């Protein structure tokens, strides 16, 4: 089952994608796609619905993030062995955990705003895990029981703010629009093995990332268990699980980064594909 949210920013309505690729409106059934929606009993009721009985949403309608109302957007750094190698970093002995601002959340086809005076805005295709039931101090054996589904994420990162302006990563990750999520939440029954998914990023039509979740250092099960030891995971929370090689920071011989007017296509096998344009910040800026 593929769940989504459609409509203008701040006015999104719940929906689902039918087998023919038509978006169906779920407003008569749910108020929104959030932590309450992701309870196992609610998901079972949604799965029993005949999508053909729901109204079709007009083609071209904007899609927002497929889930809202989360408590945490959690990210994992350097979680792919081949990505760690391209950046010259030692593979971590324990997961590197940091938080992404909730204000960074963005729709899968919305513009990505390049911050004023940014020199190093980068892309990161990531498998996102969406939590369905509260996970607190859970074991690895029990971890997957807390998963509602998966989505495509792009952990957009400003590398100068991330690594060159103090020791914390969060500020390079939390800019407005730096968290595209979706296009849909794919329930876990449709993803039998989250460690065997091809993933990619194209920039202006050129393939820059072409990887697989198989090269994760810490797999989904391990990450959920580990994070739950220090951060309580609530229904609707999202874990960005790391990125494969091919980011701008890792380009040889010279790293390169995004500028306004570029197109990104970020996708994961079975989970769909995002398409975003980069745009310059248009607001006031005090230099």
User: Within this chain, do residues 97 and 6 fall inside the same structural domain, yes or no?
Assistant: no
User: Within this chain, do residues 9 and 129 fall inside the same structural domain, yes or no?
Assistant: no
Residue 284 is predicted with a pLDDT of 59
Distance CA(181)–CA(178), nearest Å, equals 10
Total domain count, the chain: 2
User: Within this chain, do residues 9 and 87 fall inside the same structural domain, yes or no?
Assistant: no
User: Within this chain, do residues 28 and 88 fall inside the same structural domain, yes or no?
Assistant: no
Average of per-residue pLDDT across 98-109:
97
Is residue 124 one of the residues assigned to a domain?
A: yes
- Copy the structure tokens of residue 81: 């062995």
User: Within this chain, do residues 159 and 200 fall inside the same structural domain, yes or no?
Assistant: yes
User: Within this chain, do residues 159 and 221 fall inside the same structural domain, yes or no?
Assistant: yes
User: Within this chain, do residues 20 and 157 fall inside the same structural domain, yes or no?
Assistant: no
pLDDT at 209 over 50: yes
Is residue 286 one of the residues assigned to a domain?
A: no
Question: Which pLDDT tens digit goes with each residue over 147-175?
Answer: 999 999 999 999 999 988 887 889 999 99
DSSP secondary structure letters along 18-59: -TTS-EEE-TTT-S-SSTTTTSHHHHHHHHTS-GGGSPBPPT
pLDDT band at 83 (very low <50, low <70, confident <90, very high): confident
- Domain of 44, in residue numbers: 2-53
pLDDT at 270 over 90: yes
**For the domain that residue 116 is a member of, what is the CATH number?**
3.90.850.10
């Amino acid at each position: 089952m593929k769940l989504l949210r459609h409509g203008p920013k701040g006015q999104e309505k719940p929906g689902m994608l039918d087998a023919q690729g038509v978006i169906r409106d779920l407003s008569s059934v749910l108020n929104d796609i959030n932590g309450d929606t992701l309870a196992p009993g609610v998901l079972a009721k949604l799965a029993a619905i005949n999508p053909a009985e729901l109204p079709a949403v007009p083609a071209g309608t904007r899609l927002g993030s497929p889930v809202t109302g989360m408590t945490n957007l959690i990210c994992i750094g350097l979680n792919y062995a081949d990505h760690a190698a391209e950046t010259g970093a030692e593979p971590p002995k324990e997961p590197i955990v940091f938080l992404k601002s909730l204000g960074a959340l963005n729709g899968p086809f919305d513009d990505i705003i390049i911050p004023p005076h940014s020199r190093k805005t980068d892309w990161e295709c990531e498998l996102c895990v969406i939590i369905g039931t509260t996970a607190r101090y859970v074991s690895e054996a029990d971890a997957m029981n807390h998963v509602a589904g998966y989505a495509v994420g792009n952990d957009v990162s400003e590398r100068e703010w991330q690594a060159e302006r103090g020791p914390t990563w969060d500020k390079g990750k939390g800019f407005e629009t730096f968290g595209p999520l979706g296009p849909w939440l794919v329930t876990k029954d449709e993803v039998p093995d989250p460690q065997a998914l091809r993933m990619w990023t194209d920039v202006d039509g050129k393939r820059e990332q072409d990887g697989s979740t198989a090269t994760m250092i810490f797999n989904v099960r391990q990450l959920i268990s580990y994070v739950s030891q220090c951060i309580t995971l609530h229904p609707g929370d999202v874990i960005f699980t790391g990125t494969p090689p091919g980011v701008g920071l890792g380009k040889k011989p010279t790293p390169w980064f995004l500028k306004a007017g570029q197109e990104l296509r970020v996708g994961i096998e079975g989970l769909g594909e995002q398409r975003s344009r980069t745009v310059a910040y248009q607001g006031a800026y005090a230099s």
